[in-house]
Chains A and B, each alone.
Chain A
Amino acid sequence: MSDVILKVENLDVHFRSSASIVKAVNGVNITLKKKETLGIVGESGSGKSVTATALMRLLPKGIGSIPNGKITFNGKDILSLSDKEMRDVRGNEIAMIFQDPMTSLNPVFTVGDQIEEAVRTHQQMSKKEAKKKAIEMLKVVGIPEPEKRVKMYPHEFSGGMRQRVMIAIALSCNPKLLIADEPTTALDVTVQAQILELMKSLQEKNDTSIIMITHDLGVVWEMCDKVIVMYAGNTVESGTVETIYENPLHPYTWGLLESQITKNTLNGDKLPAIPGSPPDLRNPIPGCNFADRCPYAKEICSTTKPQPIEVELGHIVSCHFQTNSNRLERKERVYIE
């Protein structure tokens, strides 16, 4: 158990809006070991990014709150740290990279300044040493002519290069955990592969654990050891990549898997899509959040919340009809309208 780097238990995140409370994340559990990569997948608004932001304790002040749950990172109880202690964790032990490299670098400082700042925030280092470190980091992430590039501003870099700079900033303090919030979504496909490759090789080298937030299942298969499938703030299914890929059990996971482009779609078949949209999280519904859109839903689904059940070792599903004694029969092509 000692190599567990991050343990999240029953995490709830709420947002206060003018008239109501949005329950953005409900009871999420994560166990992540050293060097492991966890994928969090789900559609927009499912709570993936909110979960990640909560781990960094960067929820908007006065609006986001964590009413329940426990986050243990590297033996520390994250939620009970002081603001100063938390700042020492951020960027140092847990680093984060964001979706859009075009906007996540500060346009008025050179990339060198931005890397040096990350280093000098957490390590005693002279300006000169930090500059050297910045050049070294640019080299590590594969930016040519780092001595020249280090003096340039973000607008002089392409999207892929900027994401490399973001990775350089994130990894400059050798974090134990890297949270990547859709790191490749804004990049074009050829660059995506390079960035993933880079992350993988740096993970190997530094023994970093990664949480990869994405809605791209391809990225998950490529990068991850474990997956959490989120829907409307809840974990609907979690397990190793192999189990989720070979033996998915939740109807929502089936829908996600079917909505990928395959040879058949290329041959002219309609691309399956899950009809409807996620429920309004301001008004919690008594039953399963997915019931309205689920082609297998029965009466119980809209009245009672399904409990998470471990159907096989490490494979957890929350569905009334996927239990140890009872299995739902998966039908073909139910997601085509």
Chain B
Amino acid sequence: MGKYILKRLVDLLPTIFVVAIIVFVITRLIPGDPAAVMLGPQASVEDIQELRDDLGLNEPLHTQFLQYIGDLVQGDFGVSLTYNQPVISLIMDRFPNTLVLAFSALVIALLIGIPAGIISASKQNSVMDYTVMVISLIGVSIPIFWLGVMLVLYFSVNLGWFPATGMGTMDEGFITYIKHLVLPSITLATIPMATFARITRSSMLEVISQDYIKTARAKGLKEFFVIGKHAFKNALTPILTVLGMQVSALLGGAVLTETIFSWPGMGRLIVDAIDKRDFVVVQGTVLFIAIIFVLVNLLIDVLYKIVNPRVNYSSGKGGEGK
């Protein structure tokens, strides 16, 4: 197992290299000139050219790329064109905010989505089941920006329970901090929650009809353990797959939710950077997200092994785990 993890970490390097190339090329293909954006519409052509020289944008592409990769190897993500700050410190400013939001959304999604799916499956075709299914269908299809705005209108504007935008700080007190977190978390949790409910239900349904569930009942186990222990552990594999995708997506920043609630997270950092043609920040953040994706995938693959003893990573062919 340790060997497997080590191998996967080494595999990370080529993946990141390829991502770096793609991001580099795409950012250069986007129309628009960062120098022009920085200097504003009044700037003269000479000024823009001068700034481009300063930023190294007039160098041939391959030189720029080698420079970029060279810095990267030394752990240098570059300096933002617009903020004039190292990209890594920008990311480190924003990432904890994204982490807080992602974590609370994930907790809500898991705590509601998975039990809902389990109950739905164990009472298949009941009113309860239909209710969960309809709600989760709405949940996966609802436009997030609309839901966010509706929540703000009702809970912030009408009822005044929660602040409409922004992220609280601990200095303002824990309660304020949590209050700021509620609406964005619920908004962000909606899709994962519905997705978890649906995948849990379908995965559980498949498992519940298996013979070993009959064996568990014949042992005289309580239905709670039959479903919660024997069935659920077997149903976990597909749930983990979905979990991995959702966690990666959440950690990459939630552009819509962060925009609606003015949440200072990764999503908005990227969108702003794209807006301002800040190549360096776009490259850095995308690369950072790519690394998170790969690490989360690795973590999920390790969890597969823990959940399902039949998964074998050590023997040749099955070694890739996917």
Binding site for B on A (CB under 8 A): 56, 58, 87-92, 95-96, 98, 100, 103-110, 117-118, 121-122, 153, 155, 166, 169
> 3 closest pairs, A vs B, by CB?
A91-B220, A90-B220, A91-B219
Do A107 and B310 contact each other (CB < 8 Å), given the known contacts A92-B220, A121-B221?
yes
15 contacts between A and B (CB under 8 A): A87-B220, A88-B220, A89-B220, A91-B221, A98-B211, A98-B214, A104-B211, A104-B212, A106-B212, A107-B234, A107-B308, A107-B310, A108-B307, A118-B219, A121-B221
Q: Which single member of A58, A87, A108, A122 contacts B234 (CB below 8 Å)?
A: A108
A214: shortest Cβ distance to chain B, in Å? 17
B122: shortest Cβ distance to chain A, in Å? 10
Q: Which single member of A56, A87, A109 contacts B233 (CB below 8 Å)?
A: A109
Q: Which single member of A108, A110, A121 contacts B220 (CB below 8 Å)?
A: A121
Bound-state CA distance A87–B216 (Å) is 11
Bound-state CA distance A153–B307 (Å) is 12
Bound-state CA distance A106–B213 (Å) is 8
A251: shortest Cβ distance to chain B, in Å? 34
A87 nearest CB neighbor, chain B only: B220
Bound-state CA distance A89–B210 (Å) is 22
Bound-state CA distance A153–B310 (Å) is 8
B156: shortest Cβ distance to chain A, in Å? 45
Which residues of chain B are near A56, meaning CB under 8 Å?
Answer: 218
Which residues of chain A are near B212, meaning CB under 8 Å?
Answer: 103-107
Bound-state CA distance A88–B219 (Å) is 9
Bound-state CA distance A88–B221 (Å) is 9
Bound-state CA distance A121–B215 (Å) is 13
Bound-state CA distance A104–B214 (Å) is 8
Bound-state CA distance A25–B231 (Å) is 29
A291: shortest Cβ distance to chain B, in Å? 34
Which residues of chain B are near A121, meaning CB under 8 Å?
Answer: 219-221
B253: shortest Cβ distance to chain A, in Å? 35
In contact, A90 and B215 (Cβ under 8 angstroms): no
* A87-B220, A104-B211 given; 14 more Cβ-contact pairs under 8 Å: A56-B218, A58-B214, A87-B222, A95-B218, A96-B218, A98-B214, A103-B212, A107-B308, A110-B309, A118-B219, A122-B220, A153-B310, A155-B309, A155-B310
Do A103 and B218 contact each other (CB < 8 Å), given the known contacts A108-B308, A153-B309?
no
Which residues of chain B are near A89, meaning CB under 8 Å?
Answer: 220
Bound-state CA distance A121–B230 (Å) is 14
Do A90 and B233 contact each other (CB < 8 Å), given the known contacts A103-B211, A108-B307?
no
Any chain A CB within 8 A of the CB of B94? no
In contact, B219 and A98 (Cβ under 8 angstroms): no
Bound-state CA distance A108–B215 (Å) is 14
B233: shortest Cβ distance to chain A, in Å? 5
A55: shortest Cβ distance to chain B, in Å? 11
Bound-state CA distance A217–B309 (Å) is 39
Which residues of chain A are near B307, meaning CB under 8 Å?
Answer: 108
A61: shortest Cβ distance to chain B, in Å? 9
CB proximity to A under 8 Å, residues B29-75: none
In contact, A100 and B217 (Cβ under 8 angstroms): no
Which residues of chain B are near A100, meaning CB under 8 Å?
Answer: 211
Do A58 and B217 contact each other (CB < 8 Å), given the known contacts A108-B233, A109-B233?
yes
Bound-state CA distance A88–B222 (Å) is 10
Bound-state CA distance A181–B230 (Å) is 21
Bound-state CA distance A96–B307 (Å) is 27
A301: shortest Cβ distance to chain B, in Å? 37
In contact, A90 and B211 (Cβ under 8 angstroms): no
Which residues of chain A are near B218, meaning CB under 8 Å?
Answer: 56, 58, 90-91, 95-96
Which residues of chain B are near A103, meaning CB under 8 Å?
Answer: 210-212
CB proximity to A under 8 Å, residues B198-238: 210-212, 214-222, 230, 233-234
Bound-state CA distance A109–B213 (Å) is 13
In contact, A90 and B217 (Cβ under 8 angstroms): yes
Q: Which of B212, B215, B307, B309 has the most CB of A within 10 A?
A: B215
Which residues of chain A are near B210, meaning CB under 8 Å?
Answer: 103
Which residues of chain A are near B308, meaning CB under 8 Å?
Answer: 107-108
B201: shortest Cβ distance to chain A, in Å? 18
Q: Which single member of B215, B220, B222 contacts A106 (CB below 8 Å)?
A: B215
